[in-house]
Amino acid sequence: MKILLIVLTGLLLTGTFSCRQRSISKGIDTVYTVEDPTGVKVHGIGAELDPHFFSYCVGHAEHPASEKDWDIVVDRVKHLRLQMFRVMVQPQWFEPFNDDNDPDHINWNGLDFDTPEMKSLYRVLDLAQQNGINVLLVSWGCPRKSFLADGHSTFPSWIVGPKNEAEYAENLSILIQHLVIKKGYTCIKEITPYNEPNLFYFMDGKVSVDSYISMCKKLDAKFKSDNIRSLVDFNLVDESGGYDFLKKCADELHDEADLMNSHMYTFGYGTPNQDILNYEEKNRNTVPGRLPHFIGEFGSNQVKGAYLQSDIDEYLRGVLIVRLMLNVFNAGASGMSYWSLFDEYYYKNAPYDEGLMKTGLWRYKKSSYAGSEFYDHIQEDFQLRPQYFAYGLMTNHVKPGAAIYPVKTGKENVAASAFRNQDGKWVYVIANEQTDKLKISLFNNFQRKGVFNVFQYIEKDLSGGNEMIGASGSVVQNGRALPIEVPARSVVLLHQQ
């Protein structure tokens, strides 16, 4: 059954919106129609938190972080109310040398779970466990120095696929047994066995989708034989710009996968909504119907190498990020994980250009950016970027299990969605990337009366603290229409009381 949202003229919601409740005014501007719900429930909205803070940031030779600095991370995660972390792991962090030559026997004495990388991982998992945040562990393949890279004569990249699939499967089984069973990290809900395999699953110098599929099947069998398959879901594919790879995996891994995911860095400010919708609809229609499709990483298309997106400090990026989210939700996606939570170094004593990840919701220490184009604009260590507040609107108000109702806006740079959380409360989100304000009134056949708190991402109103955007007022729904005005270049979210 359809819900009709009609866009009418009405109430102005500006940065000076009164806290006094207001009634509906008359007039029609444009008519928007919300289609039937997608049938997909929200799986989660999260961010990449790779566990390098204590291993590579604390103790960095030039720009070291401290234990006290981690308190900033903890506080901001609590304010964001993230629903999941996507977390990097690597085989050599706990198995620097093969435990033994039998992949069906674990020599626990041949493993090291107290490396700096593992200790840093535990701190991330502690944070997740304490805050009810689900974790997706992602293995980043076999580095050149790992025994799991043995047998390769050429290395087109810093990682390759495993020649010995049985040993690789054992390695991941060891990881889950240690973290979930022995250490009790029940926050770990999913595993992705290889990051971006369409780009980095090299066999004999070439990417091999067949080898990736073979490895996933062996992994599934290994987890079943070790009686741990029920502990984690398999979040497979993890492709970036590789639709053919997704299609092949969808055809051949539908029995092994619990969900499938893609990475999205294709779209930017000039991208019309329809292109984003077409992208996700194609993915959603390719993945078997019983499996959710998830966006495992995403950002803008302003990519400058592996460590930077050039628009990272721009206010408008926050509007774009939400517009991307609404479009993929409307097209059938189940959720997404933003790349990345905060700027951090990715290896020991890494340099700025090719070692400091600069795509986070907040920055690292100011001294790290000395000599860069960003330095003069940074006022303090760990300074927040504007999109922290825009993304926080979504993570705070759109909850796992929510039903998703697409909204057609008729404008290619304005996106909107309706969500009904499991508590029955409605949430409406409009991302207006255009330079003109919008007068809209949402009409909902299933919601005759109600009061909605109004939250606005507007540049001039952003606070300097860690707190999320507060309600700028409330609006009363009399009948079925809920009128609002969305300022230019803003995000407006309404959450039913």
Distance in angstroms (rounded) separating the CA atoms of residues 364 and 380: 9
The pLDDT assigned to 479 comes to: 73
Distance in angstroms (rounded) separating the CA atoms of residues 417 and 403: 10
Which CATH architecture best describes the domain 33-40+403-496? Sandwich (2.60)
Place of tokens 């050429």: 154
Q: What are 428's strand-pairing partners?
A: 418, 494
Q: Which pair of structure tokens corresponds to residue 338?
A: 């933003």
* Segments making up each domain of the chain, as ranges: 33-40+403-496, 44-397
Work out the average pLDDT over 91-100.
98
Q: What are 293's strand-pairing partners?
A: 260
Distance in angstroms (rounded) separating the CA atoms of residues 91 and 113: 11
* In contact, 258 and 237? CB cutoff 8 Å: no
User: DSSP readout, 147-167?
Assistant: GGGTT-S--SSSEE--S-HHH
The pLDDT assigned to 31 comes to: 64
Residue 471 gets which letter from DSSP? P
Amino acid occupying residue 57: C
Per-residue pLDDT at 92 exceeds 80: yes
Distance in angstroms (rounded) separating the CA atoms of residues 246 and 237: 6
Distance in angstroms (rounded) separating the CA atoms of residues 264 and 395: 19
User: DSSP readout, 106-131?
Assistant: --GGG--S-SHHHHHHHHHHHHHHHT
Per-residue pLDDT at 110 exceeds 50: yes
Phi, psi of 246 (to 5 degrees): -60, -45
Distance in angstroms (rounded) separating the CA atoms of residues 296 and 317: 19
Distance in angstroms (rounded) separating the CA atoms of residues 79 and 67: 19
Distance in angstroms (rounded) separating the CA atoms of residues 342 and 353: 16
- State the average pLDDT for the chain: 93
The pLDDT assigned to 25 comes to: 40
Distance in angstroms (rounded) separating the CA atoms of residues 36 and 407: 9
Distance in angstroms (rounded) separating the CA atoms of residues 29 and 484: 11
Give the global pTM: 0.94
The pLDDT assigned to 19 comes to: 33
Place of tokens 């974790």: 135
Domain 44-397, classified CATH 3.20.20.80, yes or no: yes
Question: According to the 3-state scheme, what is the secondary structure of 210-225?
Answer: HHHHHHHHHHHHHHHH
Q: What is the pLDDT of residues 26-35, one digit of tens each?
A: 444 676 777 8
The pLDDT assigned to 443 comes to: 80
pLDDT band at 470 (very low <50, low <70, confident <90, very high): very high
